[in-house]
Each structure stands twice: as structure tokens, then as C-alpha cells.
Amino acid sequence: HDDLKGLHTALMISVNKDGSLNEEGTRQIVRHNIDRMKVDGLYVGGSTGENFLLDTDMKKRVFEVVKDEAGSEVTLIGQIGGTNVYEAIDLAHFVTDLGYDAISAVTPFYYKYNFEEIRDYYKMIAQAVDNRLLIYSIPDLTGVEISVENFKALFEIDNIVGVKFTAADFFLLERLRKACPDELILSGFDEMLLPAVVNGVDGAIGSTYNVNGVKAREIFDLARQNKIDQALEVQHQTNDLIEAILDNGLYPTIKEILKLMGVDAGYNRRPMASASDSQIAQAKAIYDQYLS
Ligand code: HMN
């Protein structure tokens, strides 16, 4: 599964003021990530893609537009999971037919499921389509924690090839890496890329790679060459940027920075607020200080 390794942008989408998809802007975001951020792949339909705010038709249109623009230039992973497993299966078929290289499914959330129910959800999706599946674990947003033993049980399901691991729990990551040396682990927190690589992840998926993909690549490459001091220096610089972005509001700020880079990133879909005038001004200051 070498094509799933490396650095993938958690893709933003461009939204019009009325909440509809800005297709041309979304195409620009795709091109920008491929041509200028030079990432290995795009993770489409994740948290950063405002996926959990979209209806099924809009999710499908995003998947279509991205595939149409990206072609086979980079690896495409379609995040199809959510609260409705039947929709997840429908979307899994949809992106597989479009030619996505893999699918990913967030752990089912909202109701408190036991592990049998979580496993059932993954089995239903994995058995429905002929494609590789990455579990998407993001306990901060879903409240769903998965133990090493339970990860191992999920990895036994045919078609499940790994996990997108978005957590700051490095003990769990280390235990998981040791227990499952052959599964793909892609880390999710951009500000912890270096320690994740030191712990043996195969790659990473991140929101800030939309604007900081080149520096992230430096961290990734230096760390894999065991040049830890140099990698840490770039991680320090990167985290000054990420801290400033987080302080100003993560997704709206990335969109405003994209605009300063000439990309029509549009608005956020309500109820997620778009950047206010003061956030826009601060995004410009962040861009000037760290990215121009
Ligand atoms: C996605 O599904 O959009 C991403 O893969 C999620 C990704 O892990 C991001 N997590 C969240 O936004 C919650 C990170 O890139 C994160 O935004 C970044 O590390 C800043 O904290």
C-alpha cells in the first residue's frame, strides 16, 4: 500500500455564501495542493472538508469535482463514514466507482456504541465494496476511543488496511505500532508530525498542509532521515504558525490564508462561522509573518 503512505492534505472545500458548493474554488484548492503544496494525496470528505455539515448530494458532488480536477495525479482517499451506515455504503460505492484509491470511515458517533456495534459498522462497509478502507479515529471530535486490542480486531476485517490516527496519545500510538507493524498508520495532528514519524507512522493527513505542505514535507523527510534536530527546528517554526492559526479559528483562518495565496476558498458552511473582519485581518498578519 505504498501509494497510501506519505503526506496527504485534509482537503478544504470552497463554499458560497448561500451554503452551496463553489465548484471552481474547490478545483482551485485541489490544484493548489497538487501544484504548490506538492502533497502525495488528498483526503476528501474529512473534518476539514466540512463533510459533516453536508447533505449526501453535496458530498457526492465534492467527490466528483475533486476526482475530475485531480485525475490520477495524486492518491485520493474518500472519507465516507458518518452517523448513517447506509449512506456510508452508498458513498463508498460512489467513490470507488469514481476511481478513488481508498476509502476511510470515521468511527460511528453521536450514540454511545459498544465495540460490537462499531465492528459491525466497519464490517458492513468493508464487505460492501472492493476497496481499501482506513479507519478514521478522532476521539477529540467523536468521543470514541479504540484500544489496541480493538484496533487489532478491526484490522482482521478484510479490506481494512490501517488507520488515520488523530490523537495526541503517544503511548497508544507506540503500542499500536508495535502490535501492528504491517498496518498503515497515518497520523492526524500536524503539530505533532515529528514525534509521530519518530514513532513509525507511514504518513500523515492534515488540514494545515493546505497552506503549509512544503514545510511539513521538510519535517517528514528530515525525520525519516533521522535528522531529528533539524526536523525539530522546522517543527518549531511550523508550530508557531499552527498555534497562531488555532488561536484565530482553524478552518476560517486556513480559508483566508488560501485566499491570500490566490485561491478562492470561499466561506464556511453554516453553522460554522466564516471569518470575521478581525479574523481576516489576523489571517493576513499570520500570512505575512510566516508564509509570504
Ligand atoms: C480531516 O479529517 O479533515 C483531518 O484529517 C483532520 C486532521 O487530523 C486535523 N484535525 C482536525 O482538524 C480536528 C488536523 O490537521 C488539525 O487540524 C491540525 O493538526 C491542527 O490542530
The predicted pLDDT at position 223 comes to 98
The predicted pLDDT at position 212 comes to 98
CA of 47 to the centre of ligand 1 (A): 7
Which residue type occupies 26?
Answer: T
Residue 43 CA: nearest ligand 1 atom is 5
CA of 30 to the centre of ligand 1 (A): 17
The predicted pLDDT at position 72 comes to 98
User: Is 46's C-beta closer than 6 angstroms to any atom of ligand 1?
Assistant: yes
Q: Which is nearest to 128 in space by CA: 83, 176, 160?
A: 160
Instruction: Please identify which of the residues 5, 164, 215, 255 carries the catalytic annotation.
Output: 164
Element (H, E) at 245: helix 228-248
User: Is 235's C-beta closer than 6 angstroms to any atom of ligand 1?
Assistant: no
The predicted pLDDT at position 216 comes to 98
Instruction: Please identify which of the residues 43, 100, 121, 136 carries the catalytic annotation.
Output: 136
The predicted pLDDT at position 152 comes to 98
103 strand-pairing partners: 78, 133
User: Is 191's C-beta closer than 6 angstroms to any atom of ligand 1?
Assistant: yes
- Summarize the chain as % helix, strand, coil (round to 5): 55, 15, 30
Residue 46 CA: nearest ligand 1 atom is 2
Active site residue 164: yes
DSSP-derived secondary structure for 25-77: HHHHHHHHIIIII--SEEEESSTTTTGGGS-HHHHHHHHHHHHHHHTTSSEEE
The predicted pLDDT at position 257 comes to 98
User: Is 10's C-beta closer than 6 angstroms to any atom of ligand 1?
Assistant: yes
In tens digits, the chain (292 residues) has pLDDT values of 999 999 999 999 999 999 999 999 999 999 999 999 999 999 999 999 999 999 999 999 999 999 999 999 999 999 999 999 999 999 999 999 999 999 999 999 999 999 999 999 999 999 999 999 999 999 999 999 999 999 999 999 999 999 999 999 999 999 999 999 999 999 999 999 999 999 999 999 999 999 999 999 999 999 999 999 999 999 999 999 999 999 999 999 999 999 999 999 999 999 999 999 999 999 999 999 999 9
Structure letter (DSSP) for residue 163: E
Which 3 state secondary structure label does DSSP give 208?
coil
26 with 65: CB under 8 angstroms?
Answer: yes
Question: ipTM of the predicted structure?
Answer: 0.98
Cα maximum dimension of the chain = 50
Count of Cβ atoms closer than 10 Å to residue 238 Cβ: 21
Which residue type occupies 49?
Answer: G
Contacts of residue 120, Cβ cutoff 8 Å, sequence gap at least 6 = none
User: Is 167's C-beta closer than 6 angstroms to any atom of ligand 1?
Assistant: no
CA of 288 to the centre of ligand 1 (A): 23
Give the Cα-Cα-Cα angle 210, 51, 169 (nearest 5 degrees). 70
pTM for this prediction: 0.98
CA of 207 to the centre of ligand 1 (A): 5
User: Is 6's C-beta closer than 6 angstroms to any atom of ligand 1?
Assistant: no
User: Is 282's C-beta closer than 6 angstroms to any atom of ligand 1?
Assistant: no
The predicted pLDDT at position 29 comes to 99
CA of 139 to the centre of ligand 1 (A): 12
The predicted pLDDT at position 277 comes to 98
**C-alpha cell of residue 274:** 466564516
Mutate to test the pocket of ligand 1, among 7, 13, 164, 189 (most ligand atoms within 8 A of CB): 189
CA of 126 to the centre of ligand 1 (A): 24
98 with 60: CB under 8 angstroms?
Answer: no
User: Is 188's C-beta closer than 6 angstroms to any atom of ligand 1?
Assistant: yes
Contacts of residue 115, Cβ cutoff 8 Å, sequence gap at least 6 = 146, 150, 153
The predicted pLDDT at position 217 comes to 98
Structure letter (DSSP) for residue 267: B
